[in-house]
Chains A and B, each alone.
Chain A
């Protein structure tokens, strides 16, 4: 059971380049999310999905696109990278849909992205 897998672990881009950060989970979780972690800012939600075909914006969605064609995969796309997108990106998944249950998020190991 691999949990949440993120690829690549490291990436360096030039300003204006595009790329996709991959995220896959094998726990059959409905909910998946993308966060970015910056010094002094904690974890900020970029986009999230409550199931295949359904996505929505989080706190800091600008410059990022997502899609959810399967339950397992939730890729994050940077269409035109900017230096402000230099960060560590975490993907997370969770299973609970009932308000009475703890919704624990399981995180991947992260992708460290530098935009020059």
Chain B
């Protein structure tokens, strides 16, 4: 049973436009969420996180939104750049500071120049 789902395997966006990547979860005990970015032949790298006590967290061009009632989070990238082309994973945990995360299956973003 996939507790963290990324239902869009791929997404293509024009450079300069907004990219929206979605993630749904089923476990209501999850209260900490992270997004990782992965380039080919590299390991995932941390991008941005959000705690369940917030509904929004921003870091430059990246914003994560959390809707707890819908068990849904999304990552917005504005404006999108060709260098953002990568696979994006969302991950969830029952508490920050733990070492056990459940990862989604990933969304491959392609930003077209």
Contacts and interface: CB of A to CB of B under 8 A. Distances in A.
B104 A100 contact: no
Contacts of B105: 40-42
B59 interface: no
Interface in B30-67: 32, 34, 36, 41-46, 49
A80 interface: no
A104 B41 contact: no
Interface of chain B, main secondary structure: loop
Interface string A64-102: 000000000000000000000000001010101111111
Contacts of A102: 32, 49, 96-97
Given A42-B4, A42-B103, A107-B45, A98 B97 contact: yes
Interface residues of A, number: 31
A31 B106 CA distance: 24
Interface of B: 4, 6, 9, 32, 34, 36, 41-46, 49, 89, 91, 93, 95-101, 103-106
23 contacts: A33-B99, A40-B9, A41-B105, A42-B4, A42-B104, A42-B106, A43-B44, A43-B91, A45-B100, A50-B99, A90-B44, A96-B96, A99-B96, A99-B97, A101-B97, A102-B32, A103-B99, A104-B34, A105-B46, A105-B99, A107-B44, A107-B45, A109-B41
Interface of A: 4, 31, 33, 35, 40-45, 48, 50, 58, 90, 92, 94, 96-110
